Structure 1
Amino acid sequence: MGQGPVAREGVATAGASTWPARVLAACGGGVVVVCLLMWVAAWSDGLRPSSFERLRSDIAAGSVVQWYAASSLDTGPLDVARAEQAGMSDGVGSQVSEDADVAAPEGYPDGGILVWRTWGQTGWSVAGPDDAVSPEMSADATGESTALVRQLREAGVAMRPFGHTDSSVLDGVFGLGGVALLGRLVLGPATRVGTKWFWFWLLVGAPLALGAVAYAVTELVGLRRRRGRSPGSRLTGIVGFAGGILLSLAVGVALEVLTSWGVPVPL
């Protein structure tokens, strides 16, 4: 016996109702993939703390393939576009005087922070006058850093700026994805695992985009597999705020432990 009109209509309605869930699940999977790509890129191309002593050893071994000097890691001379406008994207920096007391031409990358890469190295090494290296560090040129720059030039190592602050396609996708997640959180339907305030604090407070991954997996990918909690049992904003802080502390401790074990953790 064939299906009646009512039965066929019910099947069609059920099939149509699955499409929003499938789209949300696909978007959630996309968020997870982009976050994974960001983690891989940060690991493979990130800055790794080092020392001037290690740079001297790398120069002596002839293993340095690129280098750059800067006064700050977060702004200024490490901007690739600015360096290209100044004609400094290639070469060995021959316009700098051999005399350390002579000022470099305006726009030439100077400063006490040296960034370099060696053959087969994962990421970049960075060192400054102080042993402590951080993403916000800044340092003026010193006699030691100037002497190392001279050695790099004499060795004929190419000077190319490292785009630590340059945005990439992946950064743009990540930024748009973050805006989209916040937009859906604010304007979308009620969340199922935690309140909207819970997810807001976790999205903005958790490090390494862990909040975005958790939101995508539980609220988007798992939308059709998990029954929503009752309004009174959902995780609250206070839990999300505290969770973001605890995750930050846990990640910080884990990175410190890995560093103490000799793992080359990026900044």
Structure 2
Amino acid sequence: MLRIAVVLLWLLAAATAWWTAPRQQSYEQATAAVTAGRVTAYQWGDHWDDGSAQRWFGDYSLQSSGTPGPIFAWRTPDARWHWTDTGGVVVPVDATDAADDQQYAGPGAAALTRELKAAGLDDADSDVVLPTAVVAIATVLGLLLLGVLIAGPAPRLGTRWYWFWVITVVPYGLGLLVWVAREHPWSRSAAVELAPDGTPRRDRGFLGLGVGLLSALVISVAVVLLRGALGDTWLPHPG
């Protein structure tokens, strides 16, 4: 039952992270969402930091150097995040707005800020973060991983260090699923393989690190190719 619970928790966190991952939309769609009051939170920034995007469930953050824009991210009532680049957007600006527009990354950002104020949403600013449920599940799975690897029965197919590297380095928590599917105590079919001298033969930590790094490379390339074929809707990647 615990094995099934681990897989279900992973599926729940992965689905939630995918649902809420920021997806790009047009400037017109952003303006329409603001004027319709379909914005529950928003954040300004100038670039996406996806250095930690290969963690178990992704972790994109919007960074800002101080001036609002040009990137505008907003959350809708269905808990989904969207974003648009206001740079290069041409909007009509009169003389009374020209001075205020200098506070923003461009006229598009300034015009969108005025729409936020008109809709009473100017105080709804919030950071783009993973949902609390995803963070909580990742914490629980991480603690379970450490507990079983450190205090649990010895694994049979690989050493504890082997599985530690596979689980932590392989992206999106896929290494965790492999561990649960193949290794003792989760899998009853996991058996110790003996070397010719009769000593247990298990995969070592350095091999686990190599497997993790190679898997990360292969998965990253596959994701890029699939994103090109399926688009941002199915495989979101801010930036």
Q: How far apart, CA to CA, are the structure 2 residues paired with 1:252 and 1:43?
A: 16
Are residue 257 (structure 1) and residue 225 (structure 2) matched? yes
Structure-1 residue corresponding to 2:58 = none
* Gap change, CA 1:172 and 1:69, over 3 Å in 2: closer
Report the Cα distance in structure 1 between the residues aligned to 2:128 and 2:193, rounded to whole angstroms: 43
| Cα offset, 1:197, TM superposition | 1.5
Shift of the 236–174 alpha-carbon distance from structure 1 to 2, 3 Å rule, reads same
Alpha-carbon distance between aligned partners in 1 of 2:177 and 2:224, rounded to the nearest angstrom: 23
Residue of 76, 81, 89 corresponding to 1:124? 81
- One-letter code of the match for 1:254? A
Q: Which residue pairs with 2:172 in the alignment? A: 208
> Where does residue 61 of structure 2 map in the other structure?
none
Residues 1:243 and 1:124: Cα distance change in structure 2 (over 3 Å): same
* Aligned counterpart, 2:10: 35
Q: Secondary structure at the match of 2:224?
A: helix
Tell me how far 1:208 sits from its aligned partner: 0.7
Between the two proteins, the alignment pairs up a number of residues equal to 195
* C-alpha displacement of 1:31: 1.5
Map 1:1-267 → 2, pairs under 5 A? 26-50=1-25, 54-59=26-31, 65-66=38-39, 68-71=42-45, 111-112=68-69, 113-117=71-75, 123-128=80-85, 141-143=104-106, 144-154=108-118, 156=119, 158=121, 160-161=124-125, 164-165=128-129, 168-219=132-183, 222-230=186-194, 232-261=200-229, 262-264=231-233, 265-267=235-237
CA distance in 2 between partners of 1:240 and 1:247 (Å): 10
TM-score if structure 2 supplies the norm length?
0.66
Larger Rg: 1
The alignment partner of 2:38 has SS state of: strand
Contact 1:65 1:116 in 2 (8 A): no
CA-to-aligned-CA distance 1:122-174 (integer Å, 9 cap, x gap): 8321234679xxxxxxxx941232222223444x3746445533662442232
Q: Distance in 1 between matches of 2:37 and 2:10?
A: 31
DSSP 3-state at the match of 2:4: helix
Shift of 1:56: 2.5
Matched residue of 1:184: which SS? helix
Q: For residues 193 and 2 of structure 2, what CA distance do their matches in structure 1 show?
A: 22
Change (3 A) 1:152 1:37: same
Q: Which runs of 5+ in 2 are unaligned?
A: 50-65, 89-102
What are structure 1's unaligned runs of at least 5 residues?
Answer: 1-25, 75-108, 132-139
Give 1:179 shift.
1.6
Q: 2:156 is paired with a residue of what secondary structure?
A: coil
Is the 2:72–2:85 contact (alpha carbons within 8 Å) kept by the matching residues of 1?
Answer: yes
Per-residue deviation, residues 91-123 of structure 1 (Å, max 9, x unmatched)? xxxxxxxxxxxxxxxxxx97213112568x883
Q: TM-score, normalised by structure 1?
A: 0.60
Q: Which runs of 4+ in 1 moved over 4 A?
A: 60-64, 128-131
Closer, same or farther in 2 for the Cα pair 1:255/1:202, shift >3 Å? same
Structure 2 residue matching 1:176: 3-state secondary structure:
helix
Deviation of residue 188 (structure 1)? 2.3
When residues 187 and 201 of structure 1 are mapped into structure 2, their CA distance, relative to the original with a 3 A threshold, is same
* Structure-1 separation of matches of 2:120 and 2:221: 37
C-alpha separation between the residues in 1 aligned to 2:12 and 2:166? 20
